[in-house]
Amino acid sequence: MEFKHQSVLLAEVIEGLSIKPDGCYVDGTLGGGGHSYHIAEKLGEGGRLIGIDQDADAIEAAGKRLAPFGDRIRIERDNYVNIKRVLAGCGIDRVDGILLDLGVSSYQLDNAERGFTYREDVPLDMRMDQRQNLSAADIINGYSESDLFRIIRDYGEDHFAKNIAKHIVKARENGPIRTTGELNEIIRHAIPAKVREKGGHPSKRTYQAIRIETNHELEVLTNALDDMVELLTPGGRLCIITFHSLEDRIVKNAFKTYANPCICPPDFPVCTCGRKPKGRNIGKAILPSAKEQEENSRSKSAKLRIFEKGEN
């Protein structure tokens, strides 16, 4: 299957990165190379782009797409949480811009064999990095009822998390739950019919939760942000596209703290904590245009936030 993914907020990202022809940039979620291609187009002979992705299919597709740019591009198979180590291996200690396009790619969703989809009956998987041992099937069949409840409640924000967890544990008493079709049936029976009729697919929130847990997505994002801001040159920018409230909250709160880290009580006449801003937020969250949402339904929940490193 061809690796296809429609780059979300493309023009906004390119403008947000404020690309310098001789600058050094990182695409921490390379995917098929959609955003990277347009970043590379703006680089001169002295510019560099490092693409990072943990998905072998993405690495292969991006390699072909970005081949025309030659030595300006370097692609590394890794997780963006290891960005410091990856850049050190490339002989780089500072960059002018970093992009993260979070969530699951269209290719991963549409390629049923990867086990991300609830629309076909396929083996449960959901690993973004297939070298990883833990899969969605391991979580569904191995986690305790209380842990399943916590994950579906916190990562899926599903009001029926407790009942879904209970139904999963009861169902697996008869044998392992191996496919998305089996899991869909269990979730369907755990949610009242009236609720199923009103909302979208009843499995959507649970699948989001299991995918996040399988790939440690929120933990990875939280742990990577400080390193990314540290790696930026003064005036360098970090652009992050999120697709659900959990990711966006992490990014929004981190950027807010970087811009205003002071922890002194509001009534203090002067700051005594000594914490200095690391930079500034560039505007508010940017949403896709109505035209883009119409042309690409998967862009509807996207938000782009941009942080610029200060001079200090």
Mean pLDDT in residue range 94-117: 82
pLDDT tens string 158-211: 999 999 999 999 999 999 999 999 999 999 999 988 877 776 789 999 999 999
Instruction: Determine the pLDDT at residue 198.
Output: 76
pLDDT interval class at 107 (50, 70, 90): low
Question: Poorest-confidence range of 64-68, 111-115, 214-218, 270-274?
Answer: 111-115
Domains in the chain, CATH or no CATH each: 10-107+217-309 (3.40.50.150), 137-215 (1.10.150.170)
Q: What percent of the chain has pLDDT over 90?
A: 82
- Could you give the C-alpha distances from 257 to 84, 168, 225, 268, 275, in angstroms and in order? 21, 39, 11, 18, 10
pLDDT for residue 239 is more than 60: yes
Tell me what the mean pLDDT of segment 113-133 comes to.
Answer: 88
**pLDDT interval class at 119 (50, 70, 90):** confident
Over 80: is that where the pLDDT of 115 sits? no
Torsion 84-89-90-93 (CA) sign: positive
What would the mean pLDDT of 90-113 be, rounded to a whole number? 85
Q: Going by C-beta distance under 8 Å and a sequence separation of 6 or more, which residues neighbour residue 104?
A: 116, 128, 211
Name the band, by pLDDT with cuts 50, 70 and 90, for residue 297.
confident
Whole-angstrom distance, CA of residue 121 vs CA of residue 137: 13
Query: Sheet containing 24-27: which strands, arranged edge to edge?
Result: 73-77, 48-53, 24-27, 95-101, 232-242, 303-309, 279-281
pLDDT in tens, 39-93: 999 999 999 999 999 999 889 999 999 999 999 999 999 999 999 999 999 999 9
**d(Cα 214, Cα 114) in Å, to the nearest integer?**
13
Give the whole-angstrom CA distance, residue 167 versus residue 152. Answer: 13
- The answer, yes or no, to whether residue 312 has pLDDT greater than 70, is no
Q: What is the mean pLDDT of residues 241-246?
A: 95
Check residue 106 and give its pLDDT. Answer: 65
Q: Which residues contact 297 (CB under 8 A, 6 or more apart)?
A: none
What backbone phi and psi angles, to 5 degrees, belong to 205? -70, -40
Q: Average pLDDT for residues 94-111, to the nearest whole number?
A: 83
6 three-state secondary structure: coil
Torsion sign, CA atoms 260, 264, 267, 268: negative
What's the average model confidence in pLDDT over 280-296?
95
